[in-house]
Structure 1
Amino acid sequence: MSSPLFLCILLVVFGSYLSISAADDGNQGFVVVSTRSFRTQDVCSRSTALTPRPNPAGAAVPLVHRHGPCAKSQSTDKPSSFADALHRSRVRADYIMSRARAATMQEQELEEGKVSVPAYLGTSVDSQEYVVTLGLGTPAVEQVLLLDTGSDLSWVQCAPCNSSDCYRQKDPLFDPRKSSTYAPIPCGSDVCKTLQSDHFDNGCTMNGTQSQCGYQVEYGGGLKTRGVYSNEALTLAPGVVIEDFHFGCAYTQSGPNDKSDGLLGLGGAPESLPVQTSVVYDGSFSYCLPPVSSGTGFLALGAPSNDSGFSFTPMTPFMDYATFYLVKLTGISVGGKQLRIPRKVFEGGLIVDCGNIISHLPSTPYEKLQSAFRAAMAAYPLIPSDEGDTCYNFTGFSNVTVPKVALTFTGGVTVDLDVPNGLLLDGCLAFTESGPDDYVGFLGNVQMRTLEMLYDVKGARLGFRAAGC
């Protein structure tokens, strides 16, 4: 069996300083950028396309923004506005936290001799924006899949499925009847039993004399997917094939959708791609998310043969959920100046979530960041907002001067976010408030742009590498 080098990772360096910037402006804390850089380009630029790290045992695949010019086929729906992205982001974050609260209540009830069943299914997913194109089946059929480190079970829509049961996608539905390597996973198997323990199961169905394992996942935004848990060949690159990949063959969908062919789960539970290939790659993977305006990034399975270009910070699961990856923020700087923020307010940590667009910070860090950023951008008119967002009207400006924002993680790892791609979305500061101090936050995909993020799960650390794509 061969497997790919999959890149969807957050890279943080332990005990060292990593600085990443969109422009070389010496020691100054500001970057002058053209307002054209905020807009999606019409032509795909592959000058920074796939540049995988040395890894003789792995293979990399291209990764693109689904609304960018390098997308395989242009999405017919419009890119998310900031208001829409913020709404989806909050729904997603609230859903994850509701699971945490439900788990805490269940533990308390068990201590009191009570028994309860969590009122949720699956993991929280709503609005992913980055996709990879992989081959499924034999012969391989291209599938455009959303990336998500906040999900585990991967799935695609399968034929036969009519328009009332499945949403319309741009590519033909995957037809398992045309693949020589497709096989439904039988009920009673260890793989199917794992689905039950992870709350993804949906009973058993009979197909002739064959008992098939059913799956179901319900996401934070209301999307529900159900079907048959199955085994298939997954092609990541020519000659790089995962022979026994477990995924959901979806026959019933409901709720909002992204019109992709399916989803690729990169979380930490047994159903995810990294865990399924952990015998070969130790569960390690990485990715680099390109700017929305142009270019391609990459996704890879396996750690690089030389990780000297990375800085690492400790990474742990969130509570008892193997799905989520958690890191600790310790400080923030704006325009080269460190903000005065008590470290205790960061104790909740940040969930690294490439399926979430916007980053969420506890109230004190968010208010300090927002205030400092607004002061540094005082030359540009703010757009009035009932939500208290920080959005600007750049009409009439050919260039704007944007302050650098740097995040510092446990171990002294400081990362300069890309300017403007890692800071601004639709002219708005791509941060929001997660809740009270000590509340868990989220590191969204805007802040990850142009960084190579390396998830060294076995080593319990997250790595960052500058200018990854």
Structure 2
Amino acid sequence: MSWLQSLFQFLFLLYIFINGFSANHPIFVAANRSSAVHFEMIHRHDPTVLGEKILNRSESIKELFHVDKRRMEMIVAHYNTLPMERRRTTQVKGVKKGVGRTSHGNGKGVKGVKKVGVLGRDNSSFSLPIRSGSYAHLGSYFVSLKVGTPAQIFLLVVDTGSSLTWMDCKVKCLDPKQGTYCNRKVNPKKRIFHSERSRTFRTVPCSSNMCRQNFTQLMSVMECPTAKSPCAYQYNYVDGMSKGIFAYDSVTVTLSNGQKKKIHDMLIGCNQVWKTSNPIGLSNGDGIMGLGFNTHSFGPRVFDDFHGKFSYCLMDRFSDKRVTNYLTFGNRRREEMPSNMKFTELGLVGDFYAVQVTGIYVDGVKLNIPAEIWNFDKGSGMIIDSGFTLTSWVREAYEPIMNALEKPLLKHFRKVNNENFDSCFSVINTDKMGNEVAIDESLIPKFEIEFKFGVRFKAPVKSYFIYVDENVNCIGFVKSPDRDESGSHDYFSILGNVMQQNHMWEFNPFTNQLGFAPSTCELRHHHA
């Protein structure tokens, strides 16, 4: 290779690097004319961003099963730490002034932390762009988030099933006796939040009431080597654990008029230790953006200033990657919202967003499913979780749903075995060149979920009769684990992001409403 070719390659890579991480790149720039600030959500397997191996369908399915299983462990572990009164469906009792004005939720906060002023009077929304997973198959969606002063940029999973926003961190401290988190060695190939580079970073003392009382539902631990040691958290799994510390720092967003705005004193988790294989499928991502409804989580932290709601539209996972949409806090432009939005009641079970199911329909026929399995007061129910991939049903719902879908499918397709799904069929889903072809959807039974107030969610066929391999489609549902014999661990149904695709979803906990409507999720304009 000549020196001239080498020079051209170097200049090309330099251009990509500069434009890929510039503050003016479309990933980080919001709409000038919409009432939103935008964070770009990027599919976690997008090889153009994360540099990953491109997985085939079979490999992707195996991975997502592993990830969803681990995620179910996390959700259930958290749910079963809740006091009994918080395991029941509740609602937010009106807008609480100040719920988003301090990051601490008790009006006092940690010493040295000031209340924040109103962020959204003139620009009452901000958004984060979403990119399709056109090369990725199944998994979570990411946003780019700017943390610290000056800002450091991270790719985080958008997760309505988690309450803590965290990323891998390195914390420099002067006294090693303060804890094992000090001066951690890091992998130079991974994105790491360096706390010493942010002048707005500060930890939460483990001796504070904030740590000992307020953060207990965020898995804080009583470990306190010295009074000034930072408050730590630990999440345990069946075969491992993650551990880190709590801290406060600034997050930078772009308002709808293009102005940059710092949201001060946002609670973050600095993850220190992973002792598990393939931790919750983050792959080359950096952490989690927790949108669960906890006083200290990202959403409630900004709700008071941005109309108390957020929305997202997950496009088809195989859409062209140029198709974009947004995770939006506050009001979207009118033309971005479908005109046929339906609304049901949105509840809270602990930090999770819960929906009241009143019926399941296959080809218009209501299935005979016991009503009590949709009741959280009796240890079951359904949550909606953007970080969970497939849709999981408790056994009492799973069996009648699978039977009702399988019976008409057997009239048209031959059943085949699959190591991941219980009900798979031989279909023509690829042509001779190996390209995917559409199946005749008139042969597939229609599936609907009816929520409270009689509104029905009509899932796209491709979201529940899914392509898993060449000429093999499966009913893309999984069964939640059964309750253990002691009754100490409850399981519930989860509406995952595959079923949520091609719909707009709007969460408004302050009006106790969940809105949804079909959508291509393709914006007719581009936010610049």
TM-score (norm 2): 0.64
Q: State whether residues 370 and 396 of structure 2, in contact with CA within 8 Å, keep that contact through their aligned partners in structure 1.
A: no
**2:364 matched residue in structure 1:** 337
Distance 2:357 2:188 in 1: 39
Q: State whether residues 195 and 215 of structure 1, in contact with CA within 8 Å, keep that contact through their aligned partners in structure 2.
A: no
2:405 is aligned, of 373, 382, 388, to 373
1:383 is aligned, of 410, 416, 430, to 416
Q: What letter is aligned with 2:49? A: K
1:316 is aligned, of 335, 347, 351, to 347
Distance 1:104 1:212 in 2: 28
Counterpart of 1:277 in 2: which secondary structure? Answer: helix
1:261 is aligned, of 269, 272, 286, to 286
**2:133 matched residue in structure 1:** none
Distance 2:237 2:383 in 1: 16
In structure 2, stretches of 5+ residues that fail to align are: 1-26, 87-137, 173-180, 432-436, 484-489, 522-528
- Higher helix fraction (1 or 2): 2
Distance 1:57 1:189 in 2: 38
Q: How does 1:40-119 map to 2 (within 5 A)?
A: 58-68=36-46, 72-76=49-53, 78=55, 81-93=60-72, 96-97=75-76, 100=79
Q: What letter is aligned with 1:284? A: K
The yes-or-no answer on 1:400 pairing with 2:439 is: yes
**2:389 matched residue in structure 1:** 357
Q: What letter is aligned with 1:137? A: G
Q: Deviations over 1:323-343 (max 9, x none)?
A: 111112222333x43233246
Q: Please state how far the C-alpha of 1:465 moved relative to its aligned partner.
A: 2.5
RMSD: 3.8
Counterpart of 1:276 in 2: which secondary structure? Answer: helix
Q: State whether residues 235 and 241 of structure 2, in contact with CA within 8 Å, keep that contact through their aligned partners in structure 1.
A: yes
Alpha-carbon distance change, 97 to 58 in structure 1, aligned in 2, over 3 angstroms: same
**2:497 matched residue in structure 1:** 445
2:518 is aligned, of 457, 461, 466, to 466
Alpha-carbon distance change, 270 to 289 in structure 1, aligned in 2, over 3 angstroms: same
Distance 1:201 1:394 in 2: 52
Q: What letter is aligned with 1:93? A: M
Distance 2:449 2:32 in 1: 28
Q: Please state how far the C-alpha of 1:314 moved relative to its aligned partner.
A: 1.0
Q: Deviations over 1:214-238 (max 9, x none)?
A: 2223154655333332121212336
Q: Deviations over 1:349-387 (max 9, x none)?
A: 211112211212233432333233223433333321477
Distance 1:77 1:200 in 2: 37
1:229 is aligned, of 246, 250, 257, to 246
The yes-or-no answer on 1:200 pairing with 2:211 is: no
**1:244 matched residue in structure 2:** 265
Counterpart of 2:231 in 1: which secondary structure? Answer: strand
Q: Please state how far the C-alpha of 1:310 moved relative to its aligned partner.
A: 2.5
Q: Please state how far the C-alpha of 1:453 moved relative to its aligned partner.
A: 1.5
TM-score (norm 1): 0.71
Q: State whether residues 231 and 245 of structure 2, in contact with CA within 8 Å, keep that contact through their aligned partners in structure 1.
A: yes
Q: Deviations over 1:86-136 (max 9, x none)?
A: 3543443355445555657899xxxxxxxxxxxxxxxxxxx9621111111
Distance 2:269 2:367 in 1: 48
Alpha-carbon distance change, 412 to 459 in structure 1, aligned in 2, over 3 angstroms: same
The yes-or-no answer on 1:299 pairing with 2:299 is: no
Q: Deviations over 1:31-72 (max 9, x none)?
A: xxxxxxxxxxxxxxxxxx99x999965312222321247x63
**1:276 matched residue in structure 2:** 301
Alpha-carbon distance change, 188 to 102 in structure 1, aligned in 2, over 3 angstroms: closer
Distance 1:254 1:462 in 2: 37
The yes-or-no answer on 1:414 pairing with 2:431 is: no
**2:165 matched residue in structure 1:** 154
Q: State whether residues 92 and 221 of structure 1, in contact with CA within 8 Å, keep that contact through their aligned partners in structure 2.
A: no
1:184 is aligned, of 203, 209, 213, to 203
Q: State whether residues 128 and 146 of structure 1, in contact with CA within 8 Å, keep that contact through their aligned partners in structure 2.
A: no
Q: What letter is aligned with 2:262? A: V
Alpha-carbon distance change, 170 to 377 in structure 1, aligned in 2, over 3 angstroms: farther
Distance 2:188 2:465 in 1: 31
Q: State whether residues 92 and 220 of structure 1, in contact with CA within 8 Å, keep that contact through their aligned partners in structure 2.
A: no
Fraction of identical pairs, as percent: 23
Q: State whether residues 187 and 211 of structure 1, in contact with CA within 8 Å, keep that contact through their aligned partners in structure 2.
A: yes
Distance 2:272 2:76 in 1: 29
Q: Please state how far the C-alpha of 1:414 moved relative to its aligned partner.
A: 1.1
Q: State whether residues 155 and 250 of structure 1, in contact with CA within 8 Å, keep that contact through their aligned partners in structure 2.
A: yes
Higher Cα radius of gyration:
2
Alpha-carbon distance change, 105 to 142 in structure 1, aligned in 2, over 3 angstroms: closer
Distance 2:80 2:390 in 1: 22
Q: Deviations over 1:177-214 (max 9, x none)?
A: 222322223445554342246432453466xxx92422
Q: What letter is aligned with 1:86? A: F
Q: State whether residues 205 and 213 of structure 1, in contact with CA within 8 Å, keep that contact through their aligned partners in structure 2.
A: no
Q: State whether residues 218 and 225 of structure 1, in contact with CA within 8 Å, keep that contact through their aligned partners in structure 2.
A: yes
Q: What letter is aligned with 1:415? A: F
Q: Please state how far the C-alpha of 1:425 moved relative to its aligned partner.
A: 5.6
Q: What letter is aligned with 1:179? A: S
Distance 2:184 2:382 in 1: 37
Q: State whether residues 251 and 264 of structure 2, in contact with CA within 8 Å, keep that contact through their aligned partners in structure 1.
A: yes
Q: State whether residues 157 and 166 of structure 1, in contact with CA within 8 Å, keep that contact through their aligned partners in structure 2.
A: no
Q: Please state how far the C-alpha of 1:304 moved relative to its aligned partner.
A: 4.6
Alpha-carbon distance change, 78 to 226 in structure 1, aligned in 2, over 3 angstroms: same
Q: How does 1:210-221 map to 2 (within 5 A)?
A: 211-218=228-235, 220=237
In structure 1, stretches of 5+ residues that fail to align are: 1-48, 108-126
